[in-house]
Structure 1
Amino acid sequence: MPTLSGETRAPGRDWRNPSTWHLRTRLVLVAMALLVAICGAVGLFSYASMDLFLTRQLDTQLDQASGRAREFGRPVPGNPGRPDPLEARGQGVGTLNARILDGAVSSAGFLAGDASRKGLSPDDNHVLVALTPNGVPVDRTLSTGAYRLTAVQAPYGDVIVTGLPLAEKQNTLASLVWTMVVVSAGGLVLIGLAGTALIRRTMKPLEQLSEVATKVSRLPLDAGEVALAVRVPASAAHPGTEVGSVGYALNQMLENVSNALEARQHSEMKVRQFVADASHELRTPLTAIRGYTELIRMTEHFTPDGQKSLARVQSQSERMTTLVEDLLLLARLDEGQPLKVGDVDLTQLAIETVSDEKVMAPDRIWQLELPEEPVVVRGDGTQLHQVLANLLSNARKHTGPGTTVVTGVMRSADGSAVVTVTDNGSGIAPEFIGRIFARFARADAARRNPAAATTAAVRSGAAPAAGAGTGASAGAPATTAAAVPTAEGTSGLGLSIVQSIVEAHGGTVEVTSRPGRTEFAVRLPATPPSA
């Protein structure tokens, strides 16, 4: 939001809103997301393929082990006992075999790592009995670990259960997962770094376009002579590419704007020269008119109506002389003529100027708020006197009797000097604040409220300063019943002169207004800019 010093606070970037991120950041993140999706899909496919391969391989080994167990466990004629299937040759470490007779486990065990036989728990026996003897391999978890089991009805009536451990398969799949995770993560990091570098390099032309646009946006194109020499580099202005086409179009636009600015500057210089020449030429006949008018009044006798008419001629010639002086001053300020820089005591200046206004308007309450120590700046004393005189005259003309006008001088923390003129009048119309410092800008109260035409003053004039003519300043109407009527005469140049003088000193002038308080604040640097 705008501050008193005219600075604006740029909105911050919200990391939660992707639309505010840099384009290269979004491109890198999108590329990384696609790579993660591809790696994930490849990993899932590889895992599923490896799982299927290992399962088929294990099923083949399980079928062979089951066949050996059934063959070895066949009853021997004349021998009441039955051979243990686990004793069959070729059974590997971890192989599980069990015989089920009449729904109960008659013998069960598995080969341990030392080739010894280990038994199973009763809970394991319940799992084995629950198997369907259809020869289809199934996965079950026993007390000794996960197994791939198959139950087959033997020709001699027994159910032979054979199982192989799943630990080797699970270890292989776990190794595959970790390998893919590590390789994918490393690949993503490398690709991310390489992609960032490549995308940054590819986006370099766009950054150049942004840099050029930013430089142009900071140029003071609204007034004065402007050298618009900023252009997009030729490397980023090839019409054959998307970015190059934008750069080429931006260069064409800047060329057109530069030509328009030169034409505008040339036209402004013509107008300024005409105003300066015309004002200079008008000074001599106006001086003659005033001189002859005063001579006629002293040497000739007129009727009362004639005296009024002659007084009107003299007052209007004086008013026109003031206007001509204001125009000449603005022309000199526009030309940037060097300041007559010296030490100026703003506290003493405020005392003298307010004293002058007290004589002209004793019915106002004039107050001073001054520091204990003098506030001295480097500047043109005559012009700074005119600034303060215009502001005080502006307050005098557009407030009624009894209004309090406070003139303050202070030194800010950054070393600059601040001069304020504050009154408790009715304020300035909000719609007029934006153009209050424009030349010849005047708000006419009669046009908005005809009934108040004779009682409402237009806050747009300034009184002559010492040694120079002052014009009128721009402003809004005061609505006090005792306000000075608009017939006092304002040209709308007073506040324009204030702004031009203050800016020539490297300072700023601002206005804030609401009903009951209007304040003009002039901020001057400790050292004015060189001419």
Structure 2
Amino acid sequence: MTTLSGVARKTQRSWLNPSTWHLRTRLVLVAMALLVAICGAVGLVSYASMDLFLNKQLDSQLEQASRRANDFGRPPSNFPSTGRPDPLEARGQGAGTLNARIDGSTVSSSGLIDAAGNRAALSTEDKQVLLSLPRDNRPVDRSLSNGDYRLVAVETAYGDVIVTGLPLSDKQSTEASLVWTMVFVSLGGLVLIGLAGTVVIRRTMRPLEQLSEVATKVSRLPLDAGEVALAVRVPASASHPGTEVGSVGHALNQMLNNVSSALEARQESETKVRQFVADASHELRTPLTAIRGYTELLRMTENFTDDGRKSLARVQSQSERMTTLVEDLLLLARLDEGQPLKVGDVDLTQLVIETVSDEKVMAPDHIWQLQLPDEPVTVRGDSAQLHQVLANLLSNARKHTEAGTTVVTGVMLSADGSAVVTVTDNGPGIPADFQGRIFSRFARADVARSGSEGTSGLGLSIVESIVEAHGGSVEVTSKPGRTEFALRLPTVANQHI
């Protein structure tokens, strides 16, 4: 659960960080944001224009209604005796029209025409709103119990005030229709732009994705060694130099052609070197065998002084060391060529016991220990080569550590079913800067670990080559007081050689 929540938090952080988004996502979002801004600007301008037009239209209608009410509300010649006419009775007043007469601080008559053409009375709150209107002949908007109205109060020459009003419901309905129309049209446009933009941008970005795919495939190729078939290229549709992306694709193809030529030249050179090493090593075996044979013959048939015997012994030891080096070079050459292994069932437990026993005889001054499972651990492989792997690792521990060092050799089964062989010592350790190249050929760090025996620097390289030929891996971890080499080999149940 912790891992899943950590992944979820990481995903959430990436979505909150626009710099981690795909380019096509950002382009689509930018296009949609621009469309939103344009639709918003168009909507605001349209709404403002419509509102101005409707206000002018309503004000014109209100002015006409107010004029009719004022003309009808003029007192007749017998004004004192008959009273003033009610402006609501004026002809031509449509449904919803509001009229009122204000005498001083009192609404003497008021009402509005309902949808059926009948007169409806105003509430006390509505009358208070009418009394608070500015009397400057300028239309104002107010909310009444029957809805919003646009009202105008006109003071007559007779001292009273005629209030006329028209409902804002038609104007508000028209503006609401405009707003909803703009919203739905904008949303539809956003959906269409999002879908069309995604398709168009994805097609436009496809050449970049092809470039990325080619670069990713090349990055996964093992270019460091061996024969490499660098046949991956950017397709012609994405490598036309007439466009920006095509220029990048064309340049990438040119670079891959150059790299491929360099790899072929390197492989040809490595092949020649390996062939030379193999041929030279093979040719050196005969004279070395002759040197060793004549040395033995001289020791048995001739009498030498003490210095002569020492010199002859030195010749013999160096010829034996040279023979070992030649055999190692021949083995590496065969492994490089991928020669088939002599595969059979190998009991690692028994192989470890035999190899450690041999080392005990050669180095009794070291402490040799075993950590073995109760059941045999069997792998498929070349018994002689796996024996050489263990011998090289144990010899390496013997040569580069002082007397009294404890060397522990263990065999176990890992959780994934692989067989693991470890060789651990409590010596001085390997410098960290040398551990990265410890499996390279002829790599030696004489100051790294003490010892009196010279080495060719091929032992660990042979170990790595043999283990990889068996489908396994080898790694080293080292610090002062503990150095461990771990071999991981597939067991019989999951090994494919």
What is the TM-score normalised by the length of structure 2? 0.93
Structure 1 runs of 4+ aligned residues shifted over 6 Å read none
Question: What SS does the aligned partner of 2:157 have?
Answer: coil
Q: What residue in structure 2 maps to residue 124 of structure 1?
A: 126
Counterpart of 1:298 (choices 297, 300, 314) is 300
Task: Provide the rounded CA distance (Å) in 2 between the counterparts of 1:52 and 1:371.
Answer: 94
Task: Give SS of 1:15's match.
Answer: helix
Distance 1:506 1:38 in 2: 63
Match of 1:331 in 2: 333
Which residue of 481, 499, 507 maps to 2:472?
Answer: 507
CA distance in 2, matches of 1:320, 1:528: 36
1:431, CA displacement in angstroms?
A: 0.9
Identical counterparts, % of pairs:
80
One-letter amino acid of the structure 2 residue matched with residue 54 of structure 1: L
SS at structure 2 position matched to 1:443: coil
| Matched residue SS, 2:427 | coil
Task: State the match for 1:4 in structure 2.
Answer: none
Paired residue secondary structure (1:523): strand
Q: How many residues align?
A: 483
Displacement of 1:227 after TM fit? 0.9
- Could you tell me which residue of structure 1 aligns to residue 203 of structure 2? 201
In the other structure, the counterpart of 2:141 is: 139
Map Cα deviations across residues 155-189 of structure 1 (whole Å, 9 max, x no partner): 33322111111122112211221222122212211
Task: Establish whether residue 489 from structure 1 lines up as the match of residue 454 from structure 2.
Answer: yes
Residue 39 of structure 1 and its aligned partner are, at CA, apart by 1.6
1:358 Cα deviation from its structure 2 partner: 1.6
Superposed CA deviations along residues 61-86 of structure 1, whole A, max 9, x for unmatched, are 11111111111111122133111111
Letter in 1 for 2:451: V
Equivalents in 1 of 2:296, 2:106: separation in Å? 142
Which residue in 2 is equivalent to 1:151? 153
1:264 has 2:266 as partner = yes
C-alpha contact 1:69 1:86 (8 A) present in aligned 2: yes
Q: Alignment partner of 1:239: what SS?
A: coil
> C-alpha offsets along residues 296-346 of structure 1, whole Å, 9 cap, x if unaligned?
233333333333332222222211111111111111111111111111111
Tell me how far apart the structure 1 counterparts of residues 65 and 389 of structure 2 sit (CA, whole Å): 109
CA RMSD after TM alignment? 1.8
Which amino acid counterpart does residue 484 of structure 1 have in structure 2? Answer: G
Aligned to 2:245: 243
Aligned-partner Cα distance in 2 for 1:369–1:55: 98
Aligned to 1:63: 63
Report the Cα offset of residue 528 of structure 1. 5.0
Conserved in 2, the CA contact under 8 Å of 1:417 and 1:523? yes
Q: 1:166 & 1:407 partners in 2: Cα distance?
A: 97
Query: Letter of the aligned partner of 2:421 in structure 1?
Result: V
- Code of the aligned partner of 1:393: S
Partner of 1:390: 392
Three-state SS of the structure 2 residue aligned to 1:281 is helix
Cα separation, 1, equivalents of 2:400 and 2:269: 35
- Aligned match of 2:481: 516
Does the 8 Å CA contact 1:379/1:528 hold for their aligned counterparts?
Answer: no
Q: Is the 8 A contact 1:140 1:149 kept in 2?
A: yes
SS of equivalent to 2:14: coil
Distance in structure 1 (CA, Å) of the matches to 2:67 and 2:425? 111
Any conservation in 2 of the 1:363–1:402 contact (CA below 8 Å)? yes
Structure 1 residue 72 and structure 2 residue 72: aligned?
A: yes
Amino acid at match of 1:299: T
Please list the CA deviations of residues 463-501 of structure 1 after superposition, one character each: whole Å capped at 9, or x if unmatched.
xxxxxxxxxxxxxx23xxxx433xx11111111111111
Q: Is 1:277 matched up with 2:255?
A: no
Q: CA deviation at 1:103?
A: 3.6
> Take 1:127 and 1:429, find their aligned partners in 2: how far apart are those partners?
95
Q: Which residue of 2 aligns with 1:453?
A: none
Distance 2:490 2:32 in 1: 53
- Cα deviation, residue 529, structure 1: 4.9
Distance in 1 (alpha carbons) for counterparts of 2:147 and 2:320: 114
Q: Aligned pair 1:376/2:378, yes or no?
A: yes
Could you tell me how far 1:200 is from its partner in structure 2?
1.4
The residue number in structure 1 matching 2:213 is 211
- Aligned-pair distance for 1:248? 1.0
**Which of 134-143 and 246-255 deviates more?**
134-143
Summarize the Cα distance change of 1:444–1:489 in structure 2 as closer, same or farther, 3 Å threshold: closer
Output the CA distance in 2 between the equivalents of 1:137 and 1:104.
Answer: 21
How far has the Cα of 1:293 moved from its partner?
2.1
Query: Which position in structure 2 is the counterpart of 1:358?
Result: 360
Give CA-to-partner distance per residue, 1:338-392, whole Å, 9 cap, x none: 1111111111111111111121222222222222221111111111111111111
Q: How does 1:25-104 map to 2 (within 5 A)?
A: 25-80=25-80, 81-104=83-106
Q: Quote how far apart the aligned CAs of 1:108 are.
A: 2.3
Q: Please state if 1:444 is matched with 2:409.
A: no
Partner amino acid, structure 2, of 1:297: R
3-state secondary structure, aligned to 1:316: helix
Match of 2:322 among 287, 305, 320: 320
CA drift at 1:441: 0.9
Gaps of 5+ in 1: 1-10, 446-476
Question: 2:3 maps to what in 1?
Answer: none
